[in-house]
Structure 1
Amino acid sequence: MTEQVGQPVWQVLETRKVYDNPWIGVTEHDVLDPNGNPGLYGVVRVKGLAVGVLPVDGEGMTWLVGQQRFPRDYYSWELPEGGGDFDDPRGSAERELLEETGLTAASWQELVRMDLSNAITDEQAMGFLAWDLAEGTAAPEACERLEIRRLPVRDVVEMALNGEIVDAFSQAMLLKADLLARRGALPGDLARHFL
C-alpha cells in the first residue's frame, strides 16, 4: 500500500483469493484500518484496462452504443467502450471503436485516465477523443447485441447532463471533452461542435 507522508495506512494481516475467472478476481483481506481497527476488505481485481472512445465526425456527430447491461439488468446508452490491454490502450480503443461502430479514426487525443470505483475495485480506464473518421463495417463480439445511434455531440453531452446516459465512463469522457472545448484546449474545428 502507498502512503501519503504523515497519513496512517491500511495494514494487511492476511490475504485470501476467493474467486478468479479470465476477467476478474476477488481477494479478501483481514486488515487493520488507518485508525487501527480490525476489519475485512474485499477487492475486485480487474484483469484488463477499460477503454472508451468519443468519436466526433466533421458534422459534429458522435455514435452511441446501446446494450443491455447484465449486472443491474437495464438498457444503457454509452460511448463505444470495452476491455483493453494495459500495454496498448490506444490500440485497444481503436479495436473497440471498429468492433462496435465500424469507425476508424486518423486523429486521437487522450481525454481521461480514471479509477472507476476505487473503494471496491482496482479497475482503471482510459478514454480517448477520436476524429477524422472513416466509416466501415462493425463486427461486435458474439455475446454482444448492440444498437448504434448517430447524434449531434452537443445533444449527447446534454444526455450525460440530464441523466439519460448513466454510464460513468461515458459521462466523464463527454464532460471532459466539453470542458476542454470551452477552454480552447481542442483543435478549433473540433471544439466548435461542442460550443
Structure 2
Amino acid sequence: MNQKFKTVESSKVELSELMLPSHSNFSGKIHGGFILSLLDQIAFACASKHSATYCVTASVDTVDFLSPIEIGELVTMKASINYVGRTSMVVGIRVEAEHIQTGVVKHCNSSYFTMVAKDDQGKSVRVPGLILETEKELKRFFNSVKRNSLRKEREAYSNQLEYSVNELIHELEGHNVKIDL
C-alpha cells in the first residue's frame, strides 16, 4: 500500500551523463531528441519513486532549450515532484551542462512532465500526496497549479473557436504565409 504523503526530497532523482559525439546532431551540438529521451527517463524514475508503481508520460508541458550542449560536457539532470493530483504527478526537471576543463556550469533546459501512475492492468492508480517543506516547494506546487489552469483555459478557448475561411484569411494577414486555396 502506498504511503498517504511523501516529501519532495524522498523522490528526487539526479542523473549525470557525459555527452559523446554519437549524441550530436549535424551542427555538432547535442541532439535535442537525445536530451528529450533522457528527460523522459528521469521523469519516469522520479514519478515511479514517488508513486512506488509503474508510470507513463501523459504530457510534456514545457521543454525550453535555453543553451546548446556541447560534446564533452557533463550533463546533469535534477528531477523532483512539483505537484500531485489524484493519479498524476508533475515532474520538474532542470538540466545543467558542465564544461569539464573549466568547471563552468550553464542552465540548458527546464522541463515539466506529467506522469500517471498505473497498476499491472494499466489502470490509473492513486498516488501519495505531497508534503511541502520549503518555500521553493510551495512555489513549485503553486506554479504547477497555475500552469494546469492555463492549459485548461487554452483548451476551452480553442474548442469554442469557430472561424469562417474569410475570417481565417483576415486573421492571418501580416503573417509569413501564402494562402493558395
Structure 1 length-normalised TM: 0.23
Which structure carries more helix by proportion? 2
Higher relative contact order (CA 8 A, sep 6+): 2
